[in-house]
Amino acid sequence: MASTYLNKTFASSGNRKTFTISTWFKRSGIGTQQEILSSNNGGSDEIALRLTSTNELRFYNYQTSGLNFDLQTNQVLRDTSAWYHVVLAVDTTQATSSNRIKIYLNGEQITSFSSETYPNQNIDLNWNMNNSHNIGYREINTSEYFDGSLAHFHNIDGTAYDADTFGETDATTGIWKPKTAPSVTYGTNGFFLKFENSGAFGTDSSGNANNFTVNGTMTQTIDTPSNVFATANALDNNSNSTYSNGNTTIATGASEYAHTSTTLGVSSGKYYCEAKYISGAGGARIGVAGKTATSSTDGLNGGNYEIYYENNGNLDVEGTLTSSWGSTYTTGDIIGIGLDLDNNKIYFSKNGTWQNSADPSAGTGGETISSASSTTAGVYFFSISDNTSSGVLTVSYNFGNGLFGTTAVSSAQNPDDGIGIFEFSPPTGYKSLCTKSINSQEYD
């Protein structure tokens, strides 16, 4: 969502003492100041919920007299594979100062703060006013966009609800999950943004018609709090790689064998993904690794538990190189990877054609690899690496979201279970790398 945002100015002010904000967010970029929400009166007065440059949550209200309240967590939020649920329950009419603002994260009230100042009783704050309200943006500093994904953004005008109103613990998995239709009274300036209509992301589903305006180009994802898809892992790379488009597009650092892996790893089951070669002055290595990028200083370089298909057509299986194994590939080509950890085999395709006469649907051909249990990490990650110190390799992954960068796939092929959208048809029995598919393959 970086460089895009939603905003609305209300016709009149609602309840500025008592309100609730609830939203789910998934981070992409970390280590920079980013606004989840803000409201500004055109001057210096504002209220904001932000992620700081050191990755804490900060919720504050500033008026001409200074900070009315300021709460910044000790807890840091650096997990780019997880959806976080935050609830801000505000009621400045409360007699006890610490009851005037409560912050919940994934169902638990936060009680540990590095900065902890509460508002005076009965003070009016800068939310629910007849001024600009922004989601994913701060007007005072136009560089502070939110970098990630958002889901189910609620604003309640006039009532302070706790986290249990909007989420619950799954009885089977123990994971905090959303209530898709919470029982709430939205109030005059209340709204509920589901982001379910890709042509109208700002549509209000509360019944109030408090629709927001979309600024910039926003891209819809099927990655949700109920089903998390893999992305490249910005915390797991051995060079200064850069990440964009929800961490699915990677531009490797200029050092040789710059390496990055996925947020999700797997130990059993059959998985399929696609990697589109966008550009690169040097070589591309696309494959899997049984260790993290930071556990190896040389990236995908023919070591143990590393298997990759090179753009010159060579194949390396854990240090054994086969020259001219498959077709060469170049800018615009899409490499498919079929990872079969039930039979310890791997398959590669180029633009839908499986290489070296293999057929993963039938289980014929393919390359034998070590079992996941014997690898350094105990799981395999999809991984990419470059093969030169003279340029940058750029690759866009599709783990089932149906996009290469911001461009939708043209043919929209689905795995057997229907979860995921790909350019080419996944092999029979292979699934997207997402939490629902991992659970069904590894734990059923």
273, part of any domain:
yes
What is the extent of the structural domain holding 76?
A: 5-215
> How high is the pLDDT of residue 1?
45
The tens digit of pLDDT for each residue in 366-402 reads 999 999 999 999 999 999 988 776 678 899 999 999 9
What is the pLDDT at residue 65?
Answer: 77
Q: For residue 104, what pLDDT band results from cuts at 50, 70 and 90? A: very high
Q: Which helix (H) or strand (E) holds 440?
A: helix 435-442
Same domain, 264 and 144: no
Residue 402 within a domain: yes
Give the total number of structural domains in the chain. 2
**Is 97 within a domain?**
yes
Across the range 324-337, mean pLDDT stands at: 96
- Contact criterion met (CB below 8 Å) for 10 and 128: yes
pLDDT(297) > 90:
no
**Could you give the CA distance from residue 389 to residue 148 in angstroms, rounded to a whole number?**
30
Asked whether residue 158 is domain-assigned, the answer is yes
Residue 444 confidence (pLDDT) above 60: no
Together in a domain, 209 and 238: no
> 203 with 286, same domain?
no
Residue 165 and residue 240 share a domain: no
Same domain, 247 and 207: no
* 110 and 83 co-located in one domain: yes
Average pLDDT over residues 128-139: 93
Read off the pLDDT of residues 234-267 as tens digits, 9 standing for 90 and up: 888 777 788 999 999 998 876 667 788 999 999 9
Nearest-5° Cα angle at 26, 266 to 103: 125
pLDDT tens, position by position, 136-156:
999 887 778 999 999 999 999
- Alpha helices by DSSP H, listed for 87-226, are none
Q: How far apart are CA 343 and CA 357, in angstroms?
A: 18
Q: Do 240 and 202 share a structural domain?
A: no
pLDDT at 352 exceeding the cut of 90:
yes
Whether residue 408 sits in one domain with residue 354: yes
| Cα-Cα-Cα-Cα dihedral sign, residues 361, 367, 372, 374 | positive
CB atoms within 10 A of CB 353: 11
Condensed to tens digits (0 to 9), the pLDDT of residues 422-436 reads 999 999 999 999 999
CATH number at 95 reads 2.60.120.200
The 10 Å Cβ neighbour count of residue 315 is 21
* pLDDT at residue 292 in the model: 83
